């Protein structure tokens, strides 16, 4: 089986939460400031009549409440950072020293997440004022929102939710889901038959079809429901009851979410049965797993232009996920540093290490379709080479000498026990396959001791160095290509399948909230268009991030257009003196500035999608590990919250009868 | 605002603007109005006069451009006042995929009513509007009259103090219209206040206590119906037990001349089409199987005179009525 997680970017981790909240405040605060500014201008031009002014809260109480709430808002990330620190939830790669003061978090309002600095300078004070302004703006927007929330009643929301539910069922929307039967009937004609690829293929297809069927249906329901009510004037008989406008919004969201959830559960069950019956027993044996991997941080070292660098080589492949190291060069290596390990490892005789690398061949002929030889060097925290890489070669030589004099296996285990150093040479690696080596348990026996002294010990519990032995070949590595196996999860595939469906549920919630938000003010078709634009933007958010950061090969959109016209490749230098090229480069700067703002509006759908985990057989953590469901749910809530607040104001400010 | 005034508008103005803020139409201009507790108030005017705009402003469906509208002393844009209001829109815009019970249950929930109260109230109203036999059918299958009745039921679900009816008799047959008018009067007798908007002037005349007449967004007339319709220049008399004759006519002319007046018309008064229709329908229900016969088939017999009918007409009616024998 070939199983590898292709994840770009850092995983979601609990220790990053305070920083994430700070970043969120920065981004949302900017939009809140803009919204307040536009609202002030609008009110200056179109002041409301006195009667309408009387029905809201007075300006004075709004200012006082907003200021009080702003203090709370500004303190949230600081408070979280202090609490996290106290709980020991820090970056395992940079553990906090025992006597570090919590007061270092008080400098957080002076540091931007976009441009960070280490010393307090003039820019940092400017950022501090921006931080205060954005906290106040968020509070000012939230005060009337919270007051509105206090008037809501669940019974009314539930009544409106039931209405939406019944509407969708009685209008026979659910018939559309019978399209899934086409997949069940005909998918096997097109899907792979090799046992190692079957589960991946089937899971990928059913997940794709279910997601798109549900997303499109949810989008149509969410975007057209309120505009249809307004057009048919059925909304009049609702709004003339003691119903808060926001209850109408929440009722719609709740009703559609419940309906889609039910449909998702049914379709997930049917799909699981379909997959279980469609794949061959060998595929089940090999791939019906939910492995719990322990990933390490990857450090790659290679020689570029005669110098040792901490970046791998590029072999010209478009997708930059992997870095490459050359074979037969001592200084070129890939090191996985495991900053923490499960305590359970200390009780095991051995720990399985699985990996799947890419091989780039510089020559054809006899080397094609054959594996390459790699060496695997394991060093625990007691190993001198873990602190000083120069001694690694020394230890390796010492080990080789001892192995030549005795039983190599016994010698290797003894050496591992005494020096925390274990080496495997000549391991054959083939691409498009997941392989494994066994790490002796003796390397982990003092893990408990390491955990106690973690704060004062800079050495990680395990470092694994991989080198390619075959010359004239290159080995492609990525962070998630190698892991230690905490649990094989053979009984948990079906649970994992349902956990993966939660990713689809996240997509549905996103589309429903966006659709209902837009439908409060826009027509159905425009709302649907906007929702789909944001959704598709979310699918390609990594690409948009690359363009917005200017890191794409070939420059921005206009530069790329110029290159295509002039027949230039991605790396050829552009003549910057030519007027047209100057225009293109200048235009790209503007476009990139706009894209950076738009980026905040796009959902990160790659984070919400967990199909890959299920298809590749990796367990999805519920709560504690990186990229857990809880963290993804928090990300979704953080994205949807500002839209939900926007829906409140849009619905409140619009006239129902036009 | 006086204690018994429950709806008040002060220079209420509504100007419709386009997206760019340019004025398109002044739908209502500085309307000053008061509606008192316990009265039936009629809002009249030709199409486009601002009646529906006024109602929508009072219900909070539109925001005023200037001036204010107060309902129960609170701004009309507020939500709290809706607890005490019932609204029947012109076309009875209800969710057609729900049946009658579900409709009333839904609207009852919106008043935060508990389930048992909601159910009891829904059954009472369904009985009251005569839809007990059709309560499980979805509204899509209802006739116009049935939808109007369920619309009225949802307007009364919360036993409101103020009921706003927009063209309540629109699309109803005479039976339905009579039923609706009876109900409106009953509501007033229970102490409710009714604001009614209608084109059917005869309905307004028979039910409303006070009316306001709008035209092109301006208030043209306001006052009690009886006083507005009174013709102070004429005297009307009705008599019974007298056959029409020239002698009678001459004697009446003489009396009126002595008092300085003149006779304008002399003859049998006419009933209204509505009364005729209702009477015939009632009689046909009381005598199943009866039907109209053309004159050539009528047997000669002495007719009975009924109230309000001329002798010849009564004779024609009784002759025409023939019990049809089963075949």
**Least reliable range by pLDDT among A24-38, A358-372, A524-538:** A358-372
- Say if residue A518 is in the same domain as residue A584: yes
What is the rounded CA–CA span in Å between residue B199 and residue A145?
A: 42
- Asked if A171 and B97 come within 8 Å (Cβ–Cβ), the reply is yes
Q: How far is A238 from chain B (nearest CA, A)?
A: 8
- pLDDT of A557 > 80? The answer is yes
- Say if residue A259 is in the same domain as residue A236: yes
| Nearest neighbour of A51 by CB, restricted to B68, B79, B98 | B68
Q: How far is A65 from chain B (nearest CA, A)?
A: 22
B72/A contact by beta carbon, under 8 A: no
Query: What are A174-195's pLDDT values in tens digits?
Result: 787 877 777 777 777 777 677 7
How open is the CA angle A583-A584-A585, to the nearest 5 degrees?
95
Three-state secondary structure of A69-108: HHHHHHHHHHHHHHHHHHHCCCCCCCCCCCCCCHHHHHHH
Is A133 among the domain residues?
yes
Which chain A residue is nearest to residue B157, measuring alpha carbons? A241
Which chain A residue is nearest to residue B155, measuring alpha carbons? A237
- Say if residue A458 is in the same domain as residue A496: no
Q: Which of A45, A47, A49, A231 to mutate: most B Cβ within 10 Å? A: A49
Contacts of A160 in chain B (CB under 8 A): 110
Contacts of B63 in chain A (CB under 8 A): 48-49, 52, 655
pLDDT at res. B325: 37
- Say if residue A538 is in the same domain as residue A628: yes
Count of Cβ atoms closer than 10 Å to residue B7 Cβ: 24
pLDDT at res. A312: 80
Contacts of B70 in chain A (CB under 8 A): 51
* Long-range residue pairs from A366-370, CB within 8 A, at least 24 positions apart, any chain: A367/A470, A367/A472, A367/A473, A370/A430
For residue A328, give both structure tokens: 């037969």
Q: How confident is the model at residue A1 (pLDDT cuts 50, 70, 90)?
A: very low
- Asked if B75 and A55 come within 8 Å (Cβ–Cβ), the reply is yes
**CB contact set of A6 (below 8 Å; sequence gap of 6+):** A321, A478, A480, A612
Is A9 among the domain residues?
no
- Asked if B110 and A156 come within 8 Å (Cβ–Cβ), the reply is yes
Query: What are B254-272's pLDDT values in tens digits?
Result: 999 998 988 888 888 777 7
Which of A81, A69, A75 minimizes the C-alpha distance to A138?
A: A69
pLDDT at res. A329: 83
Count of Cβ atoms closer than 10 Å to residue B34 Cβ: 18
Q: A475: which strand partners?
A: A325, A359
- Asked if B110 and A171 come within 8 Å (Cβ–Cβ), the reply is no
3-class secondary-structure state, position A485: strand
- Asked if A52 and B110 come within 8 Å (Cβ–Cβ), the reply is no
* Long-range residue pairs from A31-37, CB within 8 A, at least 24 positions apart, any chain: A31/A600, A31/A642, A32/A134, A32/A137, A32/A138, A32/A140, A32/A141, A33/A133, A33/A134, A33/A137, A35/A137, A35/A141, A36/A137, A36/A140, A36/A141
- Asked if B112 and A49 come within 8 Å (Cβ–Cβ), the reply is no
User: Mean pLDDT across the stretch A276-283?
Assistant: 85
- Asked if B112 and A156 come within 8 Å (Cβ–Cβ), the reply is yes
A174/B contact by beta carbon, under 8 A: no
Contacts of B110 in chain A (CB under 8 A): 156, 159-160, 238, 241-243
Q: How far is A506 from chain B (nearest CA, A)?
A: 29
pLDDT at res. A121: 60
**Residue-by-residue DSSP string for A404-423:** HHS-HHHHHHHHHHHHSEEE
- Asked if A159 and B109 come within 8 Å (Cβ–Cβ), the reply is yes
Contacts of A240 in chain B (CB under 8 A): 59-61, 82, 85, 87
What is the rounded CA–CA span in Å between residue A455 and residue A98?
A: 6
- Say if residue A132 is in the same domain as residue A198: no
What is the rounded CA–CA span in Å between residue B178 and residue B199?
A: 16
Q: How confident is the model at residue A455 (pLDDT cuts 50, 70, 90)?
A: low
- pLDDT of A3 > 70? The answer is no
- pLDDT of A137 > 50? The answer is yes
What is the rounded CA–CA span in Å between residue B195 and residue A408?
A: 101
Contacts of A252 in chain B (CB under 8 A): none
Rounded to 10°, the helix A195-232/A245-278 angle is 160
CA A254 to chain centre: 26
For residue B183, give both structure tokens: 């109900």
pLDDT at res. A580: 83
Which of A503, A502, A506, A514 minimizes the C-alpha distance to A222?
A: A514
Q: How far is B215 from chain A (nearest CA, A)?
A: 20
Is A469 among the domain residues?
yes
Evaluate whether the domain defined by B5-229 bears CATH number 1.10.510.10.
no
Domain stop point among A487, A522, A551: A487
**B285 burial level (CB within 10 Å; 0-12, 13-18, 19+):** exposed
- Say if residue A501 is in the same domain as residue A513: yes
What is the rounded CA–CA span in Å between residue A482 and residue A434?
A: 9
A655/B contact by beta carbon, under 8 A: yes
- Asked if B62 and A239 come within 8 Å (Cβ–Cβ), the reply is no
Residue B223, by phi and psi: left (phi above 0), alpha (psi -120 to 50) or beta? left
| Nearest neighbour of B93 by CB, restricted to A232, A241, A242 | A232
Domain stop point among A150, A180, A205: A150
Q: Which of A174, A242, A526 to mutate: most B Cβ within 10 Å? A: A242
CATH of the domain at A398: 2.60.120
**Least reliable range by pLDDT among A357-361, A601-605, A607-611:** A357-361
pLDDT at res. A566: 84
- pLDDT of A2 > 70? The answer is no
- Say if residue A321 is in the same domain as residue A449: yes
User: Mean pLDDT across the stretch A559-584?
Assistant: 82
What is the rounded CA–CA span in Å between residue A425 and residue A375?
A: 4
Which of B96, B275, B86, B262 minimizes the C-alpha distance to B177?
A: B275
- Asked if A52 and B63 come within 8 Å (Cβ–Cβ), the reply is yes
Tell me how many residue pairs between chain A and chain B have CB atoms under 8 A apart. 105
- In chain B, DSSP assigns E strands to 5-17, 23-36, 40-44, 66-71, 74-75, 85-88, 162-166, 193-197, 210-215, 218-224
* Mean pLDDT taken over chain A: 86
Q: Which of B109, B111, B115, B150 to mutate: most A Cβ within 10 Å? A: B109
For the entire predicted model, the pTM comes to 0.85
3-class secondary-structure state, position A145: helix
Domain stop point among A453, A487, A521: A487
User: Mean pLDDT across the stretch A16-24?
Assistant: 89
- Return residue ranges of chain B for CATH 3.40.50.300: 5-229
Q: Under a CB-based contact definition with an 8 Å cutoff, are residues A191 and A205 in contact?
A: yes
Is A533 among the domain residues?
yes
pLDDT at res. B323: 43
- pLDDT of A518 > 90? The answer is yes
Which of A177, A187, A175, A179 minimizes the C-alpha distance to A265?
A: A177
Rounded to 10°, the helix A154-170/B100-110 angle is 150
Q: Name the most confidently modeled range: A290-299, A368-377, A636-645.
A: A636-645
Which of A604, A592, A553 minimizes the C-alpha distance to A574?
A: A553
Please report which helix (H) or strand (E) contains residue A359, including its range: strand A358-361
- Say if residue A71 is in the same domain as residue A179: no
User: Mean pLDDT across the stretch A215-233?
Assistant: 93
Range of the domain at A541: 171-288+492-634
- Say if residue A357 is in the same domain as residue A314: yes
pLDDT at res. B7: 95
A232/B contact by beta carbon, under 8 A: yes
Rounded to 10°, the helix A579-599/A557-566 angle is 140
Contacts of A244 in chain B (CB under 8 A): 79
pLDDT at res. A554: 76
What is the rounded CA–CA span in Å between residue B213 and residue B53?
A: 14
- Say if residue A229 is in the same domain as residue A270: yes
What is the rounded CA–CA span in Å between residue B69 and residue A49?
A: 11
Residue carrying the six token digits 């909240």: A21
pLDDT at res. B319: 46
Residues 78-107 of chain B with CB under 8 A from chain A are: 78-80, 82-83, 85, 87, 89, 91, 93-95, 97-98, 102, 106-107
Q: How confident is the model at residue A113 (pLDDT cuts 50, 70, 90)?
A: low
- Asked if A46 and B21 come within 8 Å (Cβ–Cβ), the reply is yes
User: Mean pLDDT across the stretch A62-80?
Assistant: 90
Which of A325, A310, A267, A338 minimizes the C-alpha distance to A498?
A: A267
Q: What is the DSSP letter of B132?
A: G
Query: What are A304-338's pLDDT values in tens digits?
Result: 777 777 888 777 665 567 889 988 888 889 999 99
Q: How confident is the model at residue A471 (pLDDT cuts 50, 70, 90)?
A: confident
pLDDT at res. B23: 81
Contacts of B151 in chain A (CB under 8 A): 237
Which of A591, A494, A486, A579 minimizes the C-alpha distance to A544?
A: A591
Which of A366, A378, A390 minimizes the C-alpha distance to A467?
A: A378
Is A7 among the domain residues?
no
Query: DSSP H helical segments within A335-470, as ranges?
Result: 384-387, 390-405, 408-419, 447-452
Residues 38-57 of chain A with CB under 8 A from chain B are: 45-46, 48-52, 54-55
What is the rounded CA–CA span in Å between residue A379 and residue A383?
A: 6
Q: Under a CB-based contact definition with an 8 Å cutoff, are residues A390 and A521 in contact?
A: no
- Say if residue A121 is in the same domain as residue A179: no
Is A77 among the domain residues?
yes
Which chain A residue is nearest to residue B115, measuring alpha carbons? A155
Query: What are A238-267's pLDDT values in tens digits?
Result: 999 999 999 999 999 999 999 999 999 999
**CB contact set of A13 (below 8 Å; sequence gap of 6+):** A626, A631
Q: How many domains does chain A have?
A: 3
Which of A266, A251, A99, A114 minimizes the C-alpha distance to A181?
A: A266
**B103 burial level (CB within 10 Å; 0-12, 13-18, 19+):** buried
pLDDT at res. B304: 38
Could you give phi then psi for residue A8, rounded to 5 degrees?
A: -95, 145
- Asked if B111 and A656 come within 8 Å (Cβ–Cβ), the reply is no
B59/A contact by beta carbon, under 8 A: yes
Q: How far is B190 from chain A (nearest CA, A)?
A: 22
- Asked if B79 and A151 come within 8 Å (Cβ–Cβ), the reply is yes
Residue B167, by phi and psi: left (phi above 0), alpha (psi -120 to 50) or beta? left
Q: Under a CB-based contact definition with an 8 Å cutoff, are residues B193 and B37 in contact?
A: yes
C-alpha neighbours within 13 Å on the C-beta side of residue A633:
11
- Say if residue A176 is in the same domain as residue A68: no
What is the rounded CA–CA span in Å between residue B94 and residue A233?
A: 8
User: Mean pLDDT across the stretch A417-440?
Assistant: 88
Please report which helix (H) or strand (E) contains residue A428, including its range: strand A421-429
Which chain B residue is nearest to residue A658, measuring alpha carbons? B62
pLDDT at res. B324: 39
Q: Which residues of chain B have pLDDT under 50?
A: 1, 302-311, 314, 318-327
B66/A contact by beta carbon, under 8 A: yes
ipTM rounded to 2 decimals: 0.78
Q: How far is B95 from chain A (nearest CA, A)?
A: 7
A241/B contact by beta carbon, under 8 A: yes
Q: Under a CB-based contact definition with an 8 Å cutoff, are residues A200 and A356 in contact?
A: no
């Amino acid at each position: 089986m070939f199983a590898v997680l292709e994840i770009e970017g850092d995983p979601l981790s609990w220790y990053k939460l305070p920083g994430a909240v700070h970043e969120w405040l920065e981004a949302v605060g900017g939009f809140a400031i803009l919204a307040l500014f536009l609202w002030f201008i609008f009110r200056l031009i179109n002041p409301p009549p006195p009667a309408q002014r009387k029905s809201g809260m007075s300006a004075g109480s709004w200012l006082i409440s907003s200021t009080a709430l702003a203090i709370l808002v500004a303190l949230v990330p600081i408070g979280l950072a202090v609490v996290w620190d106290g709980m020991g939830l820090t970056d395992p790669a940079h553990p906090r020293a025992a006597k570090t003061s919590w007061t270092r978090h008080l400098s957080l309002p002076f540091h931007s997440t976009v441009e960070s600095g280490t010393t307090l300078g003039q820019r940092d004070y400017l950022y501090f004022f921006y931080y205060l302004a954005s906290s106040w703006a968020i509070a000012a927007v939230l005060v009337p929102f919270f007051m509105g929330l206090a008037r809501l009643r669940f019974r009314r929301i539930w009544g409106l939710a039931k209405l939406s539910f019944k509407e969708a069922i009685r209008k026979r929307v659910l018939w559309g889901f019978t399209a899934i039967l086409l997949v069940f009937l005909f998918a096997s004609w097109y899907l792979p038959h090799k046992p190692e690829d079957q589960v991946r293929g089937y899971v990928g297809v059913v997940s794709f079809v279910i997601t798109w069927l549900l997303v499109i249906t949810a989008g149509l329901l969410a975007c057209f429901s309120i505009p249809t009510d307004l057009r048919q004037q059925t909304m009049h008989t609702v709004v003339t009851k003691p119903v808060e406008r926001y209850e109408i919004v929440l009722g719609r969201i709740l009703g559609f979410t419940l309906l889609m959830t039910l449909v998702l559960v049914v379709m997930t069950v049917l799909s699981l049965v379909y997959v279980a019956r469609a794949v061959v027993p060998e595929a089940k044996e090999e791939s019906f797993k939910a492995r719990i991997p322990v990933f390490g941080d990857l450090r790659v070292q290679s020689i570029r232009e005669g110098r040792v660098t901490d970046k791998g080589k590029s072999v010209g492949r478009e997708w930059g996920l992997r870095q490459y190291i050359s074979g037969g060069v001592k200084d070129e290596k890939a090191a996985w540093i495991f900053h923490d390990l499960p305590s359970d490892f200390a009780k095991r005789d051995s720990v399985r290490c699985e990996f799947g690398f890419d091989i780039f061949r510089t020559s054809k002929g006899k080397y094609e379709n054959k594996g390459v030889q790699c060496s695997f060097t394991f060093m625990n925290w007691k190993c001198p080479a873990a602190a000083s890489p120069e001694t690694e070669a020394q230890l390796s030589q010492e080990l080789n000498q001892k192995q030549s004099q005795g039983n190599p296996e016994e010698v290797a285990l003894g050496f591992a026990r005494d020096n925390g150093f274990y080496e495997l040479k000549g391991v054959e690696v083939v691409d498009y396959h997941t392989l494994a080596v066994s790490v002796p348990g003796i390397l982990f026996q003092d893990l408990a001791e390491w955990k106690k002294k973690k704060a004062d010990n800079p050495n990680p519990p395990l470092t694994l160095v991989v080198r390619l032995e075959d010359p004239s070949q290159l080995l492609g590595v990525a962070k998630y290509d190698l892991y230690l196996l905490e649990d094989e999860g053979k009984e948990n595939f079906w649970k994992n399948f349902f956990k993966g469906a939660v990713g689809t549920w996240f997509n549905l919630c996103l589309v429903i909230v966006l659709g209902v938000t837009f439908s409060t003010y826009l027509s159905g078709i425009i709302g649907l268009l906007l929702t789909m634009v944001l959704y598709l933007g979310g699918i390609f958010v990594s690409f948009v991030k690359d363009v917005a950061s200017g890191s794409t090969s070939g420059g921005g959109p206009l530069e790329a257009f110029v290159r295509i016209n002039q027949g230039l490749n991605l790396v050829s230098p552009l003549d910057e003196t030519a007027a047209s090229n100057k225009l293109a480069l200048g235009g790209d700067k503007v476009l990139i500035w706009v894209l950076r703002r738009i980026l905040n509006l796009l959902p990160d759908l790659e984070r919400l999608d967990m199909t890959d985990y299920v298809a590749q057989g990796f367990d999805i953590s519920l709560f504690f590990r990186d990229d857990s469901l809880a963290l993804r749910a928090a990300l979704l809530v953080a994205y949807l919250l500002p839209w939900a607040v926007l829906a409140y104001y849009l619905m409140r400010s619009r006239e129902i009868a036009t | 605002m006086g204690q018994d005034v429950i709806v008040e508008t002060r220079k209420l103005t509504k100007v419709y603007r386009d997206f760019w803020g340019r004025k398109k139409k002044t739908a209502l201009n500085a309307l000053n109005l008061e509606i008192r507790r316990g009265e039936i108030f009629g809002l009249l005017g030709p199409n486009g006069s601002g009646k529906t705009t006024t109602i929508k402003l009072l219900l909070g469906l539109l925001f005023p451009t200037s001036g204010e509208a107060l309902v129960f002393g609170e701004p009309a844009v507020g939500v709290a006042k809706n607890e005490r209001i019932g609204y029947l829109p012109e076309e009875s815009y209800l969710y057609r995929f729900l049946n009658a019970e579900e409709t009333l249950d839904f609207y009852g929930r919106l008043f935060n009513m508990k389930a048992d109260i909601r159910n009891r109230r829904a059954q009472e109203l369904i009985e009251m509007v005569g839809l007990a036999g059709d309560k499980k059918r979805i509204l899509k299958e209802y006739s116009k009259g049935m939808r109007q009745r369920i619309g009225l039921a949802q307007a009364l679900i919360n036993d409101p103090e103020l009921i706003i009816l927009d063209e309540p008799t629109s699309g109803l047959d005479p039976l339905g219209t009579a039923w609706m008018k009876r109900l409106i009067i009953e509501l007033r007798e229970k102490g409710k206040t009714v604001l009614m908007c209608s084109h059917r002037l005869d309905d307004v005349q028979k039910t409303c206590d006070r009316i306001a007449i709008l035209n092109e967004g301006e208030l043209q007339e306001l006052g009690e119906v009886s006083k507005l319709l009174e013709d102070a220049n004429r005297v009307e008399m009705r008599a019974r037990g007298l056959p029409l004759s020239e002698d009678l006519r001459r004697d009446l002319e003489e009396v009126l001349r002595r008092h300085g007046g003149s006779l304008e018309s002399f003859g049998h008064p006419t009933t209204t089409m509505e009364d005729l229709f209702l009477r015939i329908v009632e009689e046909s229900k009381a005598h199943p199987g009866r039907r109209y016969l053309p004159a050539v088939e009528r047997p000669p017999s002495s007719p009975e005179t009924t109230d309000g009918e001329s002798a010849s007409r009564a004779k024609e009616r009784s002759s025409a009525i023939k019990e049809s024998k089963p075949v």
